[in-house]
Amino acid sequence: MKMKLRFTDHRANRQFKIKNLKSPIGFTLIEVIASLVLVAVLAAILWPRFGTGLLGTVETNKQLSDAYELRSEMEECIEHFRRFTWEQLSDPEFPTAYSPSNPDIAMETGWVTFEPGLSSSLQETPSEEPSESLRITLKHPNGLELTYYLTSPLS
Protein backbone atom coordinates (compact mmCIF):
# COMPACT_ATOMS: atom_id res chain seq x y z
CA MET A 1 0.00 0.00 0.00
CA LYS A 2 1.40 3.34 -1.02
CA MET A 3 0.93 6.22 1.31
CA LYS A 4 0.10 9.60 0.00
CA LEU A 5 0.98 12.56 2.11
CA ARG A 6 -0.13 16.07 1.61
CA PHE A 7 1.20 19.15 3.23
CA THR A 8 0.46 22.76 2.74
CA ASP A 9 2.78 25.67 2.39
CA HIS A 10 0.84 28.27 4.38
CA ARG A 11 2.73 31.18 2.93
CA ALA A 12 1.66 30.52 -0.65
CA ASN A 13 -1.34 28.29 0.02
CA ARG A 14 0.07 25.55 -2.19
CA GLN A 15 -0.25 21.86 -1.68
CA PHE A 16 2.53 19.37 -2.40
CA LYS A 17 2.11 15.65 -2.74
CA ILE A 18 4.66 13.03 -1.72
CA LYS A 19 3.65 9.89 -3.49
CA ASN A 20 6.22 7.29 -2.39
CA LEU A 21 8.17 7.13 0.83
CA LYS A 22 10.42 4.42 -0.62
CA SER A 23 12.67 5.70 -3.37
CA PRO A 24 14.08 3.36 -6.03
CA ILE A 25 17.22 5.55 -6.14
CA GLY A 26 20.06 4.65 -3.72
CA PHE A 27 21.74 1.56 -2.29
CA THR A 28 20.80 -0.76 0.50
CA LEU A 29 23.19 -1.41 3.36
CA ILE A 30 23.90 -4.93 2.08
CA GLU A 31 24.95 -3.57 -1.32
CA VAL A 32 27.32 -1.06 0.30
CA ILE A 33 28.92 -3.74 2.52
CA ALA A 34 29.31 -6.13 -0.42
CA SER A 35 30.99 -3.39 -2.45
CA LEU A 36 33.43 -2.63 0.39
CA VAL A 37 34.30 -6.32 0.75
CA LEU A 38 34.93 -6.60 -2.99
CA VAL A 39 37.22 -3.56 -2.96
CA ALA A 40 39.13 -4.96 0.04
CA VAL A 41 39.66 -8.32 -1.68
CA LEU A 42 40.89 -6.64 -4.88
CA ALA A 43 43.25 -4.42 -2.89
CA ALA A 44 44.67 -7.48 -1.08
CA ILE A 45 45.26 -9.22 -4.41
CA LEU A 46 46.81 -6.23 -6.19
CA TRP A 47 48.95 -4.78 -3.36
CA PRO A 48 51.89 -7.19 -3.78
CA ARG A 49 52.00 -6.42 -7.49
CA PHE A 50 51.81 -2.61 -7.40
CA GLY A 51 52.71 -1.78 -3.79
CA THR A 52 56.26 -3.10 -4.06
CA GLY A 53 56.81 -0.93 -7.11
CA LEU A 54 55.97 2.14 -5.10
CA LEU A 55 58.28 1.08 -2.27
CA GLY A 56 61.03 0.32 -4.78
CA THR A 57 60.83 3.89 -6.03
CA VAL A 58 61.56 5.17 -2.53
CA GLU A 59 64.54 2.83 -2.28
CA THR A 60 65.91 4.00 -5.63
CA ASN A 61 65.58 7.64 -4.61
CA LYS A 62 67.55 6.87 -1.43
CA GLN A 63 70.31 5.24 -3.48
CA LEU A 64 70.47 8.27 -5.78
CA SER A 65 70.71 10.54 -2.78
CA ASP A 66 73.54 8.43 -1.30
CA ALA A 67 75.39 8.40 -4.65
CA TYR A 68 75.12 12.19 -4.89
CA GLU A 69 76.45 12.51 -1.33
CA LEU A 70 79.38 10.21 -2.17
CA ARG A 71 80.16 12.17 -5.35
CA SER A 72 80.11 15.48 -3.45
CA GLU A 73 82.44 14.03 -0.83
CA MET A 74 84.82 12.81 -3.57
CA GLU A 75 84.87 16.28 -5.15
CA GLU A 76 85.90 17.78 -1.79
CA CYS A 77 88.54 15.09 -1.34
CA ILE A 78 90.02 15.64 -4.82
CA GLU A 79 90.06 19.40 -4.27
CA HIS A 80 91.95 18.81 -1.02
CA PHE A 81 94.60 16.57 -2.64
CA ARG A 82 95.10 18.84 -5.67
CA ARG A 83 96.32 21.64 -3.42
CA PHE A 84 99.56 19.76 -2.81
CA THR A 85 102.55 18.95 -4.97
CA TRP A 86 103.35 15.39 -6.03
CA GLU A 87 106.34 15.37 -3.64
CA GLN A 88 104.05 16.20 -0.73
CA LEU A 89 101.63 13.49 -1.79
CA SER A 90 104.51 10.98 -1.95
CA ASP A 91 105.07 11.31 1.79
CA PRO A 92 103.96 7.97 3.33
CA GLU A 93 101.95 9.70 6.07
CA PHE A 94 100.14 12.11 3.78
CA PRO A 95 97.32 10.02 2.15
CA THR A 96 95.52 9.69 5.50
CA ALA A 97 95.60 13.45 6.11
CA TYR A 98 92.08 13.94 4.73
CA SER A 99 88.98 12.68 6.50
CA PRO A 100 85.51 12.86 4.92
CA SER A 101 83.03 15.32 6.43
CA ASN A 102 80.46 12.51 6.79
CA PRO A 103 81.76 10.09 9.46
CA ASP A 104 79.77 7.20 7.93
CA ILE A 105 81.82 7.33 4.71
CA ALA A 106 85.03 5.30 4.86
CA MET A 107 88.10 6.36 2.92
CA GLU A 108 90.90 4.13 1.64
CA THR A 109 94.04 5.32 -0.11
CA GLY A 110 96.88 3.39 -1.66
CA TRP A 111 99.60 3.64 -4.22
CA VAL A 112 99.18 1.70 -7.44
CA THR A 113 101.06 1.16 -10.65
CA PHE A 114 99.51 0.21 -13.94
CA GLU A 115 100.96 -2.50 -16.13
CA PRO A 116 99.83 -3.72 -19.52
CA GLY A 117 97.24 -6.47 -19.20
CA LEU A 118 95.32 -8.65 -21.55
CA SER A 119 93.79 -7.16 -24.70
CA SER A 120 95.50 -3.77 -24.47
CA SER A 121 94.05 -2.92 -21.05
CA LEU A 122 95.93 -1.74 -18.00
CA GLN A 123 96.06 -3.84 -14.89
CA GLU A 124 96.30 -2.23 -11.48
CA THR A 125 99.06 -3.47 -9.15
CA PRO A 126 99.13 -2.29 -5.52
CA SER A 127 102.40 -0.79 -4.34
CA GLU A 128 103.72 -0.13 -0.83
CA GLU A 129 106.05 2.64 -1.97
CA PRO A 130 104.86 5.91 -3.53
CA SER A 131 104.50 5.34 -7.25
CA GLU A 132 102.84 6.84 -10.30
CA SER A 133 99.22 6.89 -9.05
CA LEU A 134 97.39 7.44 -5.81
CA ARG A 135 94.06 5.57 -5.60
CA ILE A 136 91.37 7.15 -3.42
CA THR A 137 88.27 5.07 -2.67
CA LEU A 138 85.26 6.29 -0.71
CA LYS A 139 82.81 3.70 0.61
CA HIS A 140 79.26 4.48 1.67
CA PRO A 141 77.63 2.28 4.37
CA ASN A 142 74.98 1.07 1.89
CA GLY A 143 77.67 -0.54 -0.31
CA LEU A 144 78.33 2.20 -2.89
CA GLU A 145 81.99 2.77 -3.74
CA LEU A 146 83.64 5.55 -5.69
CA THR A 147 87.30 5.42 -6.77
CA TYR A 148 89.47 8.19 -8.18
CA TYR A 149 93.10 8.05 -9.34
CA LEU A 150 95.54 10.93 -8.94
CA THR A 151 98.43 10.38 -11.31
CA SER A 152 101.93 11.78 -11.33
CA PRO A 153 102.38 14.70 -13.69
CA LEU A 154 105.54 12.96 -15.01
CA SER A 155 103.77 9.74 -16.06
- Cα–Cα distances in angstroms (integers) from residue 9 to residues 6, 12, 14, 15, in the given order: 10, 6, 5, 6
The residue with greater pLDDT, 40 or 152, is: 40
Confidence category of residue 129, pLDDT binned at 50, 70, 90? confident
Torsion angles phi and psi, residue 116, rounded to 5: -60, 135
Tell me the pLDDT tens digit for each residue of 42-92: 988 887 777 666 666 767 778 888 889 989 998 988 888 888 877 777 776
- Helix H or strand E segment including 9: strand 5-9
pTM for this predicted structure: 0.55
Residue type, 82: R
Taking a C-beta distance cutoff of 8 angstroms, is the pair 109, 96 a contact?
yes
| Domain residue ranges of the chain, discontinuous segments joined by + | 29-151
